Chains A and B, each alone.
Chain A
């Protein structure tokens, strides 16, 4: 019996190690290629153990770096502003919803929940944002459409407030004459740091990773965030491919970022997340678990 258990442990560990390696291998290939010498890349393709390493891609990015720096500024700016706005709206909406005595609570709950069931889709939204609000090629395009508030996080936070903050505490504060703003900032929020941290991280992640708003609403070269820049360069690859397939010769004069540089920028799009992730992973995991429990 004991022996069988040990063999099971070994087997389970082996399977999980293989899965973990499969999760990491593509990233290793990406990072190694970004450090591979350009000629070696064209000769042997992307490899885990390239014949010749080089820092050229990163040197290029750091010398001729205006595009990258600019897109990094946009990405960081959008992520910070968007995340703050989202968390602000979410907390302000979730707290009143968590108050069982609020008249009309059911109506507001339904109001927000219904957006998870039904939506107008891309066409009406696109027309509204571009024709009425004129957000094309502005910073707003990255921040406002779709991402600034989500029913999912509102419900997640409301549930946390209702289950973790005793009504008696709020009632007592009200008796002492505390205003609602005070109750929220000095009682509810300090008691809810885990959920606020979790939502902040998840929202920050979706802002940093978002390239879809960029795809819809941005087509000006100076306005690309790092993800949109990556997206654009990927489509240039496709442009080359389709030309090659139709037999037309590729114009040598067009200076496209070389393969190594593309991979280096992809690394730079992923690195901020990979760097902060180990420090915040327990909040990510907690967020996933709380999110799965229905509101």
Chain B
């Protein structure tokens, strides 16, 4: 027995250098990721800055009661889910269309140039994107008001105080920034398809549209499932910069731009209402987690090999 244990220890001994290598990463992940998970219990407390989380008073579900009594909870959930749903559907369709076009381009040089250019918006920070949007939308000096609407004799629009346009503006900005990235992923999958399928289909007299329907899309199915699954897993989260920065944090637009992330930030920093912010944050973490597990479970039922885990 003793000998066995010692042998096992000697065996583990060999791996000590490897464990030591992982140590810094483990420490970082514990501090950066796991300790805040434990901190989620703050949602059940009345937080007191001087006492800290542990010593603050336990109040049960009171923070949640406050949150769900207001219409905020409904608005932020609706906005987060609806925007994400629109982004997933439109984003996927656009990206696949672009990937198919890219894949069909014969000239190799041109193909490279297109790939390079459509990725540029993806590389730029949301702050710079906000400046780009501002250059178009500013009511006094914006390009759209000054160079399009006024010359056409249309009354200029005060964009940053007209909520009705923002669902479209945010969707366009999101698609503009992200379509290159997703297109490249689909394009890479397409490039891996055996050309023989297309030739066979063409010989059988399949039109372009039929080829896309019967060869291209079935080949893309695993990628579509994986990417959509990842987006559905993140459907309770939103791009903070897009919803906070691009509308310039304008109070008049809050109804159509407030998502769970911006709500938590405003609650914590601007309003200094830790209870409300932490309740909303808890709601996001837990429901978000359930959604990832559910999405993965459904995919596992439908087609095992496409599941994430």
Chain A positions within 8 Å of B, measured between CB atoms, are 8-9, 12-13, 15-16, 19-20, 22-24, 26-27, 29-30, 33, 41-42, 44-48, 88-90, 92-93, 95-97, 99, 102-103, 108, 111-113, 115, 117-128, 131, 144-146, 148-149, 154, 179-181, 184, 205, 208-212, 216, 227, 230-231, 234-235, 237-238, 241-242, 245, 259, 262-263, 266, 269-270, 273-274, 277-278, 281, 284-285, 288-289, 292, 294
For residue A47, which residue of chain B has the nearest CB? B147
Residues from chain A with Cβ under 8 Å of B121 in the complex: 23
Which among A12, A123, A144 is the interface contact of B274 at CB below 8 angstroms? A123
User: Which of chain B's residues has its CB closest to A117's CB?
Assistant: B292
B135's partner among A16, A30, A179, A181 (CB-CB below 8 A) is: A30
Chain A residue numbers with a CB within 8 Å of B12 are 103
> Hey, which chain A residues are within 8 Å of B176, CB to CB?
22-23
Chain B residues with Cβ under 8 A from A46's Cβ? 135-136, 138, 141-143, 146
Q: Are B127 and A179 in contact (CB under 8 A)?
A: no
List B contacts of A216 (CB < 8 A): 269
Verify if B17 is at the interface (C-beta below 8 Å from A).
yes
Residue from B25, B101, B249, B293 whose CB has the most chain A CB atoms within 10 Å: B25
- Interface contact B240-A212, CB-CB below 8 Å: yes
Contact at A45–B105, with CB atoms within 8 Å? no
Given contacts A92-B21, A241-B250, contact A210 B125 (CB under 8 A): yes
Q: Does B18 contact A (CB under 8 A)?
A: yes
Check B32–A146 contact: CB distance below 8 A: yes
A284, B25: Cα distance in complex, Å? 25
Chain A residue with Cβ nearest B121:
A23
CB distance from B16 to the nearest CB of A (A): 9
CB pair A211 B101 closer than 8 Å: no
Between B21, B145, B146, the greatest number of chain A beta carbons within 10 A of the residue's beta carbon is seen for B21
- Which residue in chain B gives the minimum CB-CB distance to A92? B21
User: 4 other contacts beyond A8-B208, A93-B22, A234-B245, with CB at 8 A cut-off?
Assistant: A92-B22, A108-B22, A121-B285, A209-B123
Q: List 6 A-B contacts (CB under 8 A).
A: A23-B180, A27-B120, A88-B24, A125-B39, A128-B31, A259-B141
Residue ranges of B at the interface with A (Cβ–Cβ < 8 Å): 11-12, 15, 17-19, 21-22, 24-26, 28-29, 31-40, 42-43, 47, 49, 52-53, 98, 101-102, 104-106, 110, 113-121, 123-128, 130-136, 138, 140-143, 145-147, 160-161, 176, 180-181, 184-185, 188, 208, 223, 226-227, 233, 240-241, 245, 248-252, 261, 264-265, 268-269, 274, 277-278, 281-282, 284-285, 288-289, 292-293, 308-309
Contacts of B102 in A (CB 8 A): 16
B146 pairs with A47, CB closer than 8 A: yes
Q: Report whether B127 and A231 are in contact in the complex, using a CB–CB cutoff of 8 Å.
A: yes
Asked if B140 and A45 sit within 8 Å, CB to CB, the answer is yes
* CB-defined contacts of B241 to chain A, threshold 8 Å: 211-212
- Whether A30 and B185, one on each chain, are in contact in the complex, defined by CB atoms closer than 8 angstroms, is no
Given contacts A179-B17, A180-B17, A227-B127, contact A20 B101 (CB under 8 A): no
Q: For residue B152, give the distance in angstroms from its CB to the closest CB of chain A.
A: 14
A123 touches B21 (CB 8 A): no
Contact across chains for B281 and A277 when beta carbons are under 8 A apart? no
Which one of B25, B34, B132, B161 contacts A154 once the chains associate, using CB atoms below 8 Å? Answer: B25
A235-B249, A292-B227 are contacts. A96–B22 as well, Cβ < 8 Å?
Answer: yes
